[in-house]
Amino acid sequence: MTDHQTTSTDTPDGPCIWMSSVQTSSTHQKSWLTTDLPDERTSILTQHLSKLLQRSERSEPVDIEEYPSEFYEPRSQEPYQYPNTLHLFKAGPLFVSPESASVIRDFDIAPGFLKPVTLYKSDKTTIFSEGFCILYIGVKKNAFLPELSEGARDVWKGELWATTPNPSLQVTRFSEAALSGADIWRDERILSKFFISDRLYRALESQGLAKDWDLTRCPVVLS
């Protein structure tokens, strides 16, 4: 095991990445359904989409055309009141706002992608927005340092870990491997979370978007 030194990296200006908890946040769970489904009673988790979501969790290669391009909100009534103005939310897949998508396009997310979608109101005819995108995360890194982290829970033989829902009770540390490569990724040993680079965080923050990404700062340990 590498003898990592942590004394110079947990400072506010030290190297870091950011962990998003959107996938496990009830605030960020929305009910957009694909218009391809036969009726409102059918969940978005059809067999096809369910498999896509499982592949997304594993960051496996997925063709952009495998995802639907039209969704609607089944529960809204007149007058239309849409809570789905978050700049990042989950309704099966991850959705990003036009503003978030504009920032992401300047960063490396390959082989992940942004899939433009049209969001309709409950009548499936009136367009709510044509600027949202599905965010597919196609990269995994192996950078989590459980032996140097606080608050993470071992859920499977040291190979899979869950983080606490309370950021104040955890310090999740990562190796330098987190600093190279794509700006959005998952970690091989962290469940139901994804990560962004500090440079992407700063770009989102400068546009007032980072708050909706439900981000926690994670120090990077330099060897």
Question: If you average pLDDT over residues 50-79, what whole number do you get?
Answer: 77
| pLDDT tens, position by position, 40-50 | 444 544 566 77
Whether residues 131 and 38 fall in one domain: yes
**Maximum mean pLDDT: which of 14-23, 46-55, 197-206:** 197-206
131 in the same domain as 152: no
Q: Which pLDDT score is estimated for 80?
A: 45
Q: Which of 83, 106, 136 is the last residue of a domain?
A: 136
Same domain, 131 and 169: no
Instruction: Give the count of alpha carbons within 13 A of 76, CB side only.
Output: 21
Categorize the per-residue pLDDT at 85 as very low, low, confident or very high, splitting at 50, 70 and 90.
low
Amino acid 4: pLDDT:
46
The residue that leads in pLDDT, 223 or 97, is: 97
Kindly state whether residue 5 falls inside one of the protein's structural domains: no
Q: Domain limits at 91?
A: 26-136
Q: Please indicate, yes or no, whether residues 162 and 199 belong to a single structural domain of this protein.
A: yes
- State whether 99 and 34 are in the same domain: yes
DSSP, residue by residue, 110-148: TT-EEEE-EEE-TTSSSEEES--EEEE---EE--B-GGG
Residues 147-169 have pLDDT tens digits of 888 778 878 877 788 887 666 66
Judgement on whether residues 131 and 143 belong to the same structural domain of the protein: no
Average pLDDT, the chain: 83
> Has residue 7 been placed in a domain?
no
- Tokens of residue 223, six digits: 């060897």
Q: How far is CA 184 from CA 11, 16, 108, 141, in A?
A: 23, 14, 8, 10
Q: pLDDT tens-digit profile of 104-155?
A: 999 999 999 999 999 888 888 888 888 899 999 999 999 999 988 877 887 8
- Whether the pTM exceeds 0.85: the reply is no
Mean pLDDT, to the nearest integer, of 66-80? 72
Residues of the chain with pLDDT > 70, as a percent, come to 81
Do residues 108 and 148 both lie within one domain?
no
Last residue of a domain, one of 136, 162, 180: 136
Question: Are 120 and 205 part of one and the same domain?
Answer: no
Phi-psi region of 208 (alpha: psi -120 to 50; beta: other; left: phi over 0): left
Please report which confidence band the pLDDT of residue 9 belongs to, taking 50, 70 and 90 as the band edges: low
pLDDT for residue 129: 84
Same-domain check for residues 38 and 107: yes
Give the residue, 95 or 149, on which the prediction is more confident: 95
pLDDT surpasses 70 at 2: no
| 129 and 157 fall within a common domain | no
* The total number of structural domains that make up the chain: 2
Q: Are residues 150 and 115 in the same domain?
A: no
Q: Are residues 201 and 160 in the same domain?
A: yes
Q: Is residue 2 situated within a structural domain?
A: no
Q: Identify the weakest region by mean pLDDT among 26-35, 78-87, 102-111, 162-171.
A: 78-87
> Which one of 82, 117, 136 terminates a domain?
136
Residue 175 lies in a domain: yes
The per-residue pLDDT for 26 is: 81
Q: Which amino acid is at 207?
A: Q
Looking at per-residue confidence, does 196 or 90 come out higher? 196
Question: Is 93:103 a contact under the CB 8 Å cutoff?
Answer: no
- The answer to whether the beta carbons of residues 142 and 190 sit under 8 Å apart is no
